[in-house]
Amino acid sequence: MLIKRQYLRSFYLYRCIRQIMSEKVQQFQSYTVRDNMPAKNKSETVVEKKRGIDALPPSVQLVVLIVIVFALYVVHSGCQEWLFRTEIKDYGMVVTLMQFGFCTMFGMVEQKIRSGKLERKVPLKTYAGIALLTVGTSGLSNTSLGSLNYPTQLIFKSSKLIPVMVGGILIQGKKFSLYDLVSCLLMTIGLIMFVLTDQKVSPNFEATGIILISLALCCDAAIGNIQEMTFKQYKPPNAEMVLYSYGIGFIVLLIGNSAFSLLHVVGIIVSNGQIMLALFFFSFSGYVGLHFVLDLVRIFGALLAVTVTTCRKAVSIVLSFMFFAKPFSIMYVWAGMLVLLGICINIYSKNKSKINEKVSAFIQRMKTEES
């Protein structure tokens, strides 16, 4: 019943998102036409009205984006956990193959709408490396759900600062502050507590799941650093990065998955339309959700975007315990709070000046009102 209710909500959500995205595409096309005008005509052109989400007041923009991000990722999380409670739970790589297939189609459609053709600024060998890491990140993460509770997997994914720091030191030679080290330590302790609790209370716990999600996080750390260097060097649009990463990854997974596993999962899906629908919404909500997160970053900055996505993960963990039957222990709460504290310290470390300015302004305003 839960997944059916999610489907109905998702259809209504899809119609709203499609309208917003179409308005954003029209806005993009109108700006493109204006930018391609001769200089003489440009000076005579009146600045066009903003459209889509950009036309709303800032406070409304914030509420709309937060609601959409939460709704999309709640659907994403719900579909993912539900999928790995069905007959395909032992075929994580095949699920990843289908996810990559959907995302490749979404990327091609977006590229066509935005530029009218498929463009590429980055060398294929760079995209091949990113694609392999993307396969490792998504494939191993999905496969780990066959051996882990969903909240445990989500806690690990929330703690990717640990391998990101290691990857940043090894790949880019970065140096990190004391705040980052303390944050990393708190996350590590929280993860250990979460895993030990899961081992005691969960009947489905397997050490294999911990190994798989840890390897997925290592791939995630590497891909984050390589993508950062790629964006700095070649400046590709997000749609191009997504298209080629998922497109090449789809080919790799198609070759890597055995024909028997693929045919078996296809047979299950053909006999159960709910699984195909869940796969579609799992892929669609993740793909579109990423774009709205990028809108949050563009309009309100990385600090708010990270805060929203962190709260979203916390909500997903709570909803997972509420709607999917699983053992519970109060130690999950304490371990989760340690991880959350580590995330908050990391956010402060990256945005000290902005946070200090806002806190000082708030204190000054309070003093002014009192006097």
Distance of CA 365 to the CA centre of its chain: 36
pLDDT in tens, the chain (371 residues): 444 454 445 444 445 444 544 554 444 444 333 444 444 444 444 444 566 677 778 778 888 888 998 999 999 999 999 999 898 888 999 999 999 999 999 988 888 887 777 778 899 999 999 999 999 999 999 999 888 888 888 888 777 777 767 766 776 677 778 888 888 888 888 888 888 887 788 766 778 888 998 898 888 777 777 877 888 888 888 778 888 999 999 999 999 888 888 888 888 888 888 999 999 999 999 889 888 887 787 787 766 776 787 788 888 888 888 888 878 888 888 988 888 888 888 778 877 887 888 888 888 888 787 76
State the sign of the Cα–Cα–Cα–Cα dihedral 173, 177, 178, 182. Answer: negative
CA distance 10 to 73: 11
Q: Tell me the helices (H) and strands (E) count for the chain, helix number first.
A: 15, 0
In this structure, which amino acid lies at residue 284? F
Distance of CA 329 to the CA centre of its chain: 27
Contact of 83 with 282, CB cutoff 8 Å:
yes
Pick from 218, 208, 241, 197: nearest CA to 333: 197
Q: Please name the residues in contact with 31: beta carbons below 8 A apart, sequence gap of 6 or more.
A: 48
CA distance 337 to 41: 58
Pick from 134, 129, 154: nearest CA to 144: 154
Whole-number Cα distances in Å, 277 to 116, 139, 323, 324: 29, 20, 19, 19
Neighbours of 248 (CB within 10 A): 21
Contact of 168 with 225, CB cutoff 8 Å:
yes
pTM: 0.73
